[in-house]
Amino acid sequence: MSKIIGSIKQFDDGIRLVTINEAGDTAAISINDPTFIERFTDFFDWFGKGGDELTSFIEQKEGEKLTLDAIAETANKRVELCKKARDRIDELFGEGTCKKTFGVDIPDEVCIMEFVEKMIPFINATFEERGQHIDRKYSRNRKGARSKQRTKAELIEDYGSGTEV
C-alpha cells in the first residue's frame, strides 16, 4: 500500500489558452510539450506543399475538357487536404478547434491559413514566456546559484582538508 507523503497544490500544466471565437471557446498551446514547435512547423510546411500540389493539379485540369468528373476529382482533392489539415490542427490545439473556430466540420484552405497565421504571434509569445521562465529558474545569476565553478583540484583539496564541499 502506498503512503501519501505530501501533495503539490499548484503546478503549472503549461497550457496556454487563446480565445478563438465570440463564444469564448479556446485553442490550447502546450509549452511543456517539447514537440509542439516542431509539429507546428511541420504542419505549416506540409500544408504549403499540399496547397502547391493542389494548385498544380487544378492547373493541369484546366487544360482538359471540363466535365463533372473533373470537377468532382478536384473538389475531392481539395476536401481531402482540408480534412487532413483539420485533423492536424485539432491534434495541435485541441479536439474540435476547427469546428469551434469556423463553425463547419471541414474549413477551406483559406480559413486554415488565416487561422495558422493568426496563431503564430500567440505561439511566439507563449514560448518566449517559457524561455524566460527557464532563464529565471536555471540562470547562473539566480539567487542561490553557485557564482563560481570550482575545479576538480579545488574540490579534492577541500575534501582532504576536511572543509565542507
Kindly report, residue by residue over 103-153, the tens digit of the pLDDT: 999 999 999 999 999 999 999 998 888 888 777 777 666 555 555 666 777
Residue 20 neighbours by CB under 8 Å, 6+ apart: 26, 27, 97, 100, 101
Gap between the Cα atoms of 107 and 91, Å rounded: 15
Give 38-54 pLDDT, tens digit per residue: 999 999 999 999 999 98
Residue 61 near residue 74 (C-beta atoms within 8 A): yes
Which has the higher per-residue pLDDT, 83 or 5? 83
* Cα angle for residues 75, 83, 96 (degrees, 5° grid): 140
Tell me what pLDDT residue 21 has. Answer: 92
Cα of 42 vs its chain's centroid, Å: 10
Mean pLDDT, the chain, integer: 85
Gap between the Cα atoms of 31 and 10, Å rounded: 17
Give the residues across from 28 on adjacent strands: 17
Phi, psi (deg, nearest 5) at residue 135: -60, -45
Q: Is the pLDDT of residue 164 over 60?
A: no
Tell me what pLDDT residue 19 has. Answer: 95
- Domain parsing of the chain, residue ranges: 15-119
Residue 115 near residue 89 (C-beta atoms within 8 A): yes
Tell me what pLDDT residue 119 has. Answer: 95
Gap between the Cα atoms of 7 and 15, Å rounded: 21
